Amino acid sequence: MSVFNLSVNLGGTSRQSNIIGIPPEQLAALMGQHEDHSETQRKLIARLERDLDLNERQMREALRILGENDVPDEHLGAKLVEIAGHFENLRLGASVDPGESPAIVALKSDVQKAIDAGELVKADALLEDVARAQSYSVERSAISLAGTLARRAEIALTRLHYGEAAAHFASAAAVLPSAMEHDGERISYLIGEASALSQQGDEFGDNAALLSAIERLQRLVTLTPRARVPLSWAMAQNNLSNALVRLGERESGTARLEEAVVALRSVLEERTRARVPLYWAKTLNNLGNALTTLGERESGTARLEEAVVAFRAALEERTRPRVPLAWAGTQNNLGTALAMLGERESGTARLEEAVVAFRAALEEWTVEATSYWHERSQRNLAHCLALLEQRRKQ
């Protein structure tokens, strides 16, 4: 079995790029409720508050959440950005619906004060009170109740409690009135449920959650008909394929991976290069990853050859000037597929191509920019160079 790392799909957000240069060990040192931070650490916290648009109390809560959930050091930056994004959603979602009672209006005001203070447990408890009060109302309140449950889901996501978030999103979808006019909102809640289940399964090795996510995503494919909303259908198929790949990587067979490849090829029929070039390239990158995993398990080289074709095509739109980190990720994936081919062939051409791809990835995956991915690609390059040296001596 090859030691090369698989399935890198790094798109990155603007916020991630703002903090990506902060070493994991510096972020780790900020966690916990300490009042004795050094002057350098206080300046770093102030910078994070500014870049992530969090106030002091929210930043303190975000750092506490990271420590509470035992997030690995190399993922601290991405998780901090994720938490900040959920805080933003909670801020943007603050609203009072017409006709709500003064008691509910007051409770919602207290919820927002708790969120602004970074007191998420208190905010969730208050939202539970709001939900209880709204549950006694008629259809209008059912819509408000769904919104409240969705906000509880956002709080759970902010706390990295994905299973709890999925349950709240499912409840939000269930309480909406059945009229067709609410279908769009219901689908958005179901997407939230499936996404939370996927994260629970992906990040915690929870195969049962992944299976549940696959079931929900299969339902979403049917709820977004291809003939009526082709790009929404393609997104649902793409999300389904991602969950299938994650589960397939953990299983000994290839059925899930084969299913993912079929789904991704169908996605490309709607996510065309002419219509959505960057999504087209991202889908090709995902397809290449699925084919590489299949190729690693099979004795032949056909799947790996297909993966190489997919990655090279993706790079036609996933260019370095446009999306440098995503470009580097696809270069690393290309190098992985080429190196596996090189291990199975007698010459050195494939290994030499792999070295070129890994070195290209490292031009953007620098230690300063993405230390975790730099280390992975550096290991891939070192292993490939060692194989190449052995081959040349034979």
Map out the domains of the chain as residue ranges: 20-176+283-393
**Largest Cα–Cα distance of the chain, in whole Å?**
83
Q: What is the pLDDT of residue 54?
A: 93
Is-contact 187 224, C-beta < 8 A? yes
Task: DSSP letter for 73, please.
Answer: G
Task: DSSP letter for 94, please.
Answer: -
How far CA 68 is from CA of 41, 61, 161, 188, in Å, comes to 20, 10, 11, 29
pLDDT per residue over 199-221, tens digit each?
A: 999 999 999 999 999 999 999 99
Share of the chain above pLDDT 70, in %: 92
Q: Rounded CA gap, 284 and 272, in Å?
A: 10
Confidence grade of residue 119 (pLDDT, cut at 50, 70, 90): very high
Q: Rounded CA gap, 80 and 326, in Å?
A: 20
Q: Is 315 helix (H, G, I), strand (E, B) or coil?
A: coil
Residue 126's nearest CA partner among 103, 93, 142 is 103
Look at residue 247 and tell me whether its pLDDT is greater than 70.
yes
Global model pTM greater than 0.75: no
Task: DSSP letter for 213, please.
Answer: H
Higher pLDDT residue, 371 or 153? 153
Q: Is 364 helix (H, G, I), strand (E, B) or coil?
A: helix
Helices 207-223 and 162-175: crossing angle, nearest 10°?
30
Q: What is the pLDDT of residue 11?
A: 37
Q: What is the pLDDT of residue 371?
A: 82
